[in-house]
Structure 1
Amino acid sequence: QAVAGYGHAEKGQVQHMVRTLLGLNGAPSSDAADALAVAICHANHMDRL
């Protein structure tokens, strides 16, 4: 949800949002995008504590 909305994003959508949020030149692999999305979600959650 932190990366692509309501938790129903397709892999390509997650890759696109991770690329956009992190300012990457290219899209990360599907697995890397998933891992980075988890890290982004965690970082956003930590800001709220």
Structure 2
Amino acid sequence: MIRFETGDLGEFPPGLEKQIRSEPYRNVTVGACRTREGPGFARYKIALVFF
């Protein structure tokens, strides 16, 4: 399982793509929700579960 927060859904955190590619996963489930931040700013919590 990998969890992170981001304000830009178009970019992975540094090193995340390398970590994902380094393991022989066959499936992934992704969940996301918006956090409660101040007006005008959006942040998202992302969870990836590999199996």
Higher strand share: 2
Find the structure with the greater CA-based Rg: 2
TM-score by length of 2: 0.24
The structure with higher relative contact order (CA 8 Å, sep 6+) is: 2
TM-score by length of 1: 0.25
Higher helix share: 1
